[in-house]
Structure formats: structure tokens, C-alpha cells
Amino acid sequence: MVTLLGILSALSFGIGDFLARFSSREVGFKNSLFWMLVVGALFYLILFSIFGEGLNPNSIGLSNSFLSGILIMFGLLCLYRGLQIGPVSIVAPITAINPLFVFLIRFALGSEPSLLQWLSTFIVISGAIFVSFSANSFQESLGLTKKQIKDSVIISFMASITLALGLIFSQEATNTLNPLETVIYIRFFSLLGIAFIILFTKNKITLTKKAIPILFFQGILETSGYFCLVFAYAFDKASIAVVISSGFGLVTVVLARLILKEQISKLQSVGIILTFLGVFGLAI
């Protein structure tokens, strides 16, 4: 059951993030994230009304949810920006290494990893380096400038790190809150955060007819992914579902290859394979 939920989460995140490329180019990456969170919040409230058991907030849980919501918002903002300007098959795999940063942060806080986990860490880092170095191949195939490629790689690592931090605080929040309830607070703070950024930067909240169906499915898929994750966490607090869900990057890469016809070099293929093998090893 937990494995199935992890796979469903990966598929939901992967397809949702692929759609984010199109919505970000249509209405801008900030508006894309804003409307995705609006749709997602409404959909999640419906799910919570069916599966939830009411709200029982507390100060510690809300504090961790706030930090998680803001960090995840920044992570998704970076991811959407990367998908808007860079190659999907570079941005997605780098962002998907966030379990590596979760592992390293947990180690810094006192956890004792196994030899296999350290080996997996080295494999993930190697894979990410290969993917990063292969990015220059898109300069000709997609007509991107060196600056666009460099920016997309940097933004992808920023997305991965902030999403990892957000995940850690969300895990801490579930120690004092029901997992299904926690997502409501996290989504609320994420939505509040991106709304504040849009207003503070004096951007307009815009929406086009073309973007509406994309954002609708994007919001449903992203929320379904989180729902599967927290549902799995309710079954097993040491759930492998979180790591399996990082396979969203592989789903996004496959879609980029099939639909966008992005060319994947041998070096990039090796990097992608190493990255996901290493991430799986960190879960063992």
C-alpha cells in the first residue's frame, strides 16, 4: 500500500511539474504557482472533508507548518522558474535529489547513517554533477544561452535544498499534528507567501483562458501527490513513499523526451540513472 502511494505520488508530481512548464510560460512562474496553490487548496479541502478528522492546531505544529509552507513555496517557485527558462530534463533530476539534502541535514542533526547510505550519497552527488555538466549540450539543441543554462542549474539546486528543508519541517509538524491536517496549514502558508511576493514585487495576478485547464489539472495533480504522501505517512512514519515520490523527476524527464523531444546525451543519461539509484539507496 505504501509503495503504491509513493508511485502515485511520483506520477502526480511528475505530470504536474511538466504542466508547470507550460503554465509558467503562459502566465509567468509566480502566477503559475499562485493559481496552482489556489486550485490545490480547494481540492485538498474537499479531500480533507472526506478523510480528515477535524482541525486541532497547536503552536509547535503551526510554527513548523509555517516554516515548511514558506520553504516549500520558495522551492516550488525556483522549480517553476527553472522549468520556465531551462531544459526540463536538467531541472527535474537536479530538483529530485532533495532526499540527499534531507539525509545530510539529518546527519548534521545527529542521525547515524549506514555505509550503504554514505555510498548512496556519493552516487547521488556524482549523478547530479554529471547532469549539471551535460546541461551545455542543450545550448545547440534548444537554442539556449550559456546564462540560461547556468541559471537553470543553479535554480534547480536552490529548489532541491529549500524543498528538502520544507520536508524536514513538515515531518516535524506531523509529530504534533495529524498528517492530513498538516498539509492544510502548509498549503495555506505557501499560498499566503506567494500572494505576498506577488503584491510586494508589484506583479499583477493574471490568468488567461489557455492557462485555465493547465492550472486546473496542475493543481489537482500536485495536491494528489501530497495527499498520497501524507496518507502513506499515516500508515508508516518511516515510509519509503517519500523517496519513491522523488521519482517525479524521472516521470518529468520521460515526458520531456516524448513530448518536447528534448535530446538526452549519454552523460546526462548516466547522471539521471545514478541520481535515482542513489536516492533509492538512501531509503534502505
| Selected residue with higher pLDDT from 178 and 33 | 33
Phi, psi (deg, nearest 5) at residue 283 = -85, -15
For 54: left if phi > 0, alpha if psi spans -120 to 50, otherwise beta; the answer is: left
Helix or strand run (H / E) with residue 55? none
Distances 39 to 18, 153, 155, 191, 210 between C-alpha atoms, Å: 17, 29, 25, 10, 16
Residue 157, helix vs strand vs coil? helix
Report pTM: 0.86
pLDDT value of residue 75? 94
Tell me which amino acid residue 21 is. Answer: R
| Selected residue with higher pLDDT from 27 and 147 | 27
Q: Is 70 exceeded by the pLDDT of residue 224? A: yes
Mean pLDDT of 155-165: 92
Whole-number Å distance between alpha carbons of 153 and 160: 11
Q: Residue 107 in contact with residue 113, Cβ under 8 Å?
A: yes
**Residue written as grid cell 477535524:** 54
Q: What pLDDT band is residue 114 in, cutting at 50, 70 and 90?
A: confident
Q: What pLDDT band is residue 236 in, cutting at 50, 70 and 90?
A: low
Whole-number Å distance between alpha carbons of 95 and 157: 6
Mean pLDDT of 250-269: 78
Mean pLDDT of 238-254: 71
Distances 269 to 98, 128, 154 between C-alpha atoms, Å: 19, 11, 20
Q: Residue 161 in contact with residue 98, Cβ under 8 Å?
A: yes
Tell me what percent of the residues of the chain surpass a pLDDT of 90.
31
Tens digit of each residue's pLDDT (9 = 90 or more) over 127-138:
777 776 665 666
